[in-house]
Structure 1
Amino acid sequence: MNPYVTGQTIQMLREKRGITQKQLAEQLFISDKTVSKWETGKGLPDITLLEPLAKALHVSVPELISGTAVTNRNRTANMLKTQWYVCPLCGNVISAAGEGAFHCCGIALPPLVPEEPDESHTISVECMDGEYFVRMEHPMTKSHYLSFFAAVTSERVTLVKLYPEQEPETRLPARGRGWLYACCNRHGLFRIPLPKR
């Protein structure tokens, strides 16, 4: 990732939008010569212009800086295709119904790739009273803990955030077919199919 927006990126995004240097300059209240300087590498946009520039080019500021536009191809917002992003510094959990560009604590967050649970991360699920009682054997120390459990069906995501030294268990509503997720701060994201009720 570039440390700052490049002229090549500005030109590529501008041409993708089908606008001229002059049209972009008018939107930003600057001269077209300034845009030309940016695109030829003879200058850089002032930091105060990054947000208006990103808006004019129809991208986010992180996309502008990285030079990579993220396109959400998941137009139907199928919740079963939920992507998970977890900040390794503060533990913030972000779920999205498709691809996105997410940052937290100054870090670009990659989507977590779910895996089947291994022997040390076995998830047990029991159906009782219209809910799933979910548990995982886990040490739950301050440095090694489960971040969350989540049940995902085609229509909703139910997430329960967990914290160090808490019991590694929760109850989640039993609402149809889908996926059950558990996220360990050291070993990543685990997924199993939700059991039939």
Structure 2
Amino acid sequence: MSIGETIQNARKKAGLTQEQLAAKVFVTRQAVSRWENGDSEPGIDMRKLLARVLDVPVASLLDLPDAPACQCCGTPFDVPDMPFGTNADGTENPDYCGWCYNDGEFTSQGLDEIIERNVPYLMQATGYSAEEAVSFMGAVLPTLKRWSGMENRNAAANLKRSSFYVCPSCGNVAWSSGEVAATCCGNTLEPLAAKKNDGVLDANVGVAEGCQHVHVAHPMTKDDYLLFIAAVGDDLVRIKRLYPEQEARAEFWMQGPCKVYAFGNSCGLVEL
């Protein structure tokens, strides 16, 4: 079944018109029509958003090969010279490739390491950009045997659980996808604790033409200004650095659901 047919079937099952689906994923009805007719295909991040909106497994929209694949890195076993992994007793393990599993042990410890190792090969095989390849693997790997359910056990697996740090001396902004020991200018930096925007900031977050627009009505004086606005998704973090006497505004291309934050020295980290 083609990607277009899968989208159309899932849309109809969800009881949505093309126009309603378009509104939920921030595109035009014509774009949805082109996907379903096979005239064009949605990008990797759009497929992930479609999967969430249509409540279907993201793997069903990623055009994955039918061949059995390594349940650690996702590489199909029909790749030439693809070795099977080996158990501790030397027997063959049919679930994992030899690059990921050897003598009963995994050769890498985390998702990030697997993604970094395999992105160049995926780019070469598919023509994806580096960003597309990372996004693709970030969607596929959590569905595999080794990583299934890992999101709940590994804080770094979901970037929505990441942390921001700000140096009180120089104003440097740092971000991490997990727990780190962060220092700057001799200061030990603690992760910022976000609070809900219960009237703290006069902010407006909207979506138009596939872009998320953020505007905060803030004085932005030299003594009181926002340092950054950030959008945090499952596998992508975007940060807009702000400066005094400029408008507190940011625009982020939609790449799936995300949380939006703003930080200022007087208001702290606020989830908008």
TM-score by length of 1: 0.58
Q: Which residue of 2 aligns with 1:69?
A: none
- Give, as a single letter, the amino acid of the residue that structure 2 aligns with 1:164: P
Match of 2:254 in 1: 174
Whole-Å separation in 1 of the counterparts to 2:269 and 2:241: 14
Indicate the percent of aligned positions where both proteins have the same amino acid: 41
Aligned to 1:13: none
Most deviating of 183-192 and 138-147: 183-192
Conserved 8 A contact 1:149-1:181: yes
Q: Unaligned regions of 5+ residues in structure 1, if any?
A: 1-72, 193-197
Q: Which residue of the partner structure matches residue 86 of structure 1? A: 166
CA deviations 1:43-96 (Å, max 9, x no partner) are: xxxxxxxxxxxxxxxxxxxxxxxxxxxxxx736531111101011121111110
Q: Which runs of 4+ in 1 moved over 6 A?
A: none
Q: Distance in 1 between matches of 2:181 and 2:268?
A: 19
Query: Contact (CA 8 Å) 2:156, 2:178: kept in 1 or not?
Result: no
Q: Any gaps of 5 or more consecutive residues in structure 2?
A: 1-152
Find the partner of 1:155 among 229, 235, 240. Answer: 235
Aligned to 1:164: 244
Q: Is residue 124–residue 135 contact of structure 1 (8 Å, CA) maintained in 2?
A: yes
Asked if residue 141 in structure 1 is aligned to residue 192 in structure 2, the reply is no
> Residues 102 and 76 from structure 1, CA distance in 2 versus in 1: closer, same or farther, beyond 3 angstroms?
closer
Secondary structure in 1 aligned to 2:195?
A: coil
Write the deviation string for residues 123-165 of structure 1: whole angstroms up to 9, x where unpaired: 2111112111101111100111001011111010011000111
CA distance in 1, matches of 2:243, 2:156: 33
Are 1:111 and 2:191 counterparts? Answer: yes
CA contact (8 A) 2:220 2:244 kept: yes
**1:40 matched residue in structure 2:** none
**Aligned AA for 1:74?**
N
Counterpart Cα distance in 1 of 2:154 and 2:221: 37
Determine which structure has the larger helix proportion and give its number: 2
**RMSD between superposed Cα atoms in Å:** 1.5
CA contact under 8 A between 2:224 and 2:266: conserved in structure 1?
yes
Over residues 103-134 of structure 1, what are the superposed CA-to-partner deviations in whole Å (9 max), with x where a residue is unaligned?
11110011100001132413211111211110
CA distance, structure 1, for counterparts of residue 200 and residue 233 of structure 2 = 26
SS at match of 2:160: helix
- Ranked by relative contact order (alpha carbons within 8 Å, sequence separation 6 or more), the top structure is 1
CA contact (8 A) 1:74 1:97 kept: no
**Structure 1 residues 166 and 110: CA distance shift in structure 2, 3 A:** same
SS at 2:193's partner residue? Answer: coil
Report if aligned partners of 1:148, 1:159 keep a CA contact under 8 Å in 2.
yes
Code of the aligned partner of 2:236:
R
